[in-house]
């Protein structure tokens, strides 16, 4: 099933753009000078991608929160986006109750559940997503697109990001065979290893997404870090030979020159401790196009790893157990 959902990613992006185009987001009564996004898991990472997509254009802070509480600075001058695919995420609903007391501009994004019900009942703007996707982690296209839509409709950014998202559909559609072939190579490289994902700071959402997908779909532990920050700390952790570690670099032809140099130096350092180093370059002309390419590639990597490991990519028994135990308290 998960492979079918990944296959539908380009179609999901197209549908997400149509949903966003047909949505109604009313202007706020106050000047908006910051944005706060409440969301976790697949909905939270959508906020991270939107944050990366708009940071070169958006003139106000855009912060993603992934917990029960909200910052004290959320006020009537804040746009708050409350995102939960199911509409029932415990932490997000807790944040929503606090947000309602701030006088901020609230827009909810969900397929249904308590979040949409409360939005309708209490008169908040909302964007309702399709409810026929069985796995929230496969709904990233819906989440990140609607956040860009909201910012655009409120005049906080131009429509450039939406235009680029539309163009990115072609990137993954026309390169699908190559993406799958590359993903199989990466999966075979990572199997029976502990993956370490490195990329530059402007694409951290890409690394986070792949880490989460490997966790959930392949049922494997892994970690990520970004350059240049890891050059000030994690690089010192490479001091013991360990061939169980496999380093994957996600790179772009337009990465900042000094970061590209740093990556090349890092590879030389790390090669002293593990022979397992691989790099993959993106396709596309913009950050959004390159990110969407990596999203789809990484999703396929996680799927092929699940096949190689013989695990059910959709199964979330441990998460359901955790939620069940929480429900007892």
Q: CB of 187 within 8 A of CB of 304?
A: yes
Catalytic residue among 91, 204, 216, 289: 216
Q: CB of 129 within 8 A of CB of 19?
A: yes
Assign 3-class secondary structure to the chain: CHHHHHHCHHHHHHHHHHHHHCCCCCCCCCCCCEEEEECCHHHHHHHHHHHHHHCCCCCCCEEEECCCCCCCCCCCCEEEEEECCCCCCHHHHHHHHHHCCCCCEEEEEECCHHHHHHHHHHCCEEEECCCCCCCHHHHHHHHHHHHHHHHHHCCCCCCHHHHHHHHHHHHHHHCHHHHHHHHHHHHHHHCCCEEEEEEEHHHHHHHHHHHHHHHHHHCCCCEEEEECHHHHCHHHHCCCCCCCEEEEEEECCCCCHHHHHHHHHHHHHHCCCCCCEEEEECCCCCHHHHHHHHHHHHHHHHHHHHHHHCCCCCCCHHHHHHHHHHHCC
- Please return the burial class of 281, using the count of CB atoms within 10 Å of its CB with bins 0-12, 13-18 and 19+: middle
| 232 among known catalytic residues | yes
| 323 among known catalytic residues | yes
**Strand pairing class (194-200; 245-251):** parallel
| 225 among known catalytic residues | no
CB atoms within 10 A of CB 168: 24
Catalytic residue among 59, 101, 232, 268: 232
Which of these, 208, 169, 190, 176, lies nearest to 66 by C-alpha position? 208
Catalytic residue ranges: 216, 232, 323
């Amino acid at each position: 099933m998960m492979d079918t959902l990944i296959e539908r990613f380009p179609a999901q992006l197209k549908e997400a753009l149509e949903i966003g185009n047909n949505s109604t987001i009313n202007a706020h009564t106050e000047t908006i000078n910051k944005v706060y996004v409440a969301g976790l898991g697949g909905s939270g990472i959508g906020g991270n991608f939107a944050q990366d997509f708009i940071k070169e254009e958006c003139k106000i802070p855009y912060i993603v929160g992934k917990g029960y509480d909200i910052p004290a600075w959320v006020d009537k001058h804040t746009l708050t986006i409350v995102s939960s695919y199911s509409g029932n995420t415990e932490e997000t609903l807790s944040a929503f109750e606090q947000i309602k007391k701030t006088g901020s501009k609230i827009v909810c994004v969900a397929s249904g559940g308590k979040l949409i019900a409360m939005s309708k009942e209490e008169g908040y703007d909302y964007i309702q997503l399709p409810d026929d996707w069985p796995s929230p982690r496969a709904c990233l296209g819906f989440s990140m697109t609607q956040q860009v839509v909201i910012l655009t409709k409120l005049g906080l950014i131009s429509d450039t990001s939406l235009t680029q998202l539309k163009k990115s559909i072609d990137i993954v559609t026309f390169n699908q065979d190559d993406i799958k072939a590359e993903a199989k190579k990466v999966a075979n490289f990572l199997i029976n290893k502990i993956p370490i994902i490195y990329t530059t700071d402007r694409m951290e959402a890409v690394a986070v997404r792949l880490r989460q997908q490997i966790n959930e779909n392949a049922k494997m532990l892994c970690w990520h870090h970004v350059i240049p920050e890891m050059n000030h700390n994690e690089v010192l952790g490479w001091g013991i030979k360990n061939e169980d570690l496999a380093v994957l670099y996600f790179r772009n032809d337009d990465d900042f020159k000094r970061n590209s140099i740093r990556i090349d130096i890092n590879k030389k350092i790390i090669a002293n401790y593990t022979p397992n180093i691989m790099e993959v370059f993106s396709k596309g002309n913009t950050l959004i196009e390159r990110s969407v390419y990596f999203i789809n590639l990484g999703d396929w990597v996680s799927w092929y790893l699940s096949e190689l490991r013989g695990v059910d990519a959709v199964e979330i028994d441990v998460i359901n157990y955790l939620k069940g135990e929480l429900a007892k308290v």
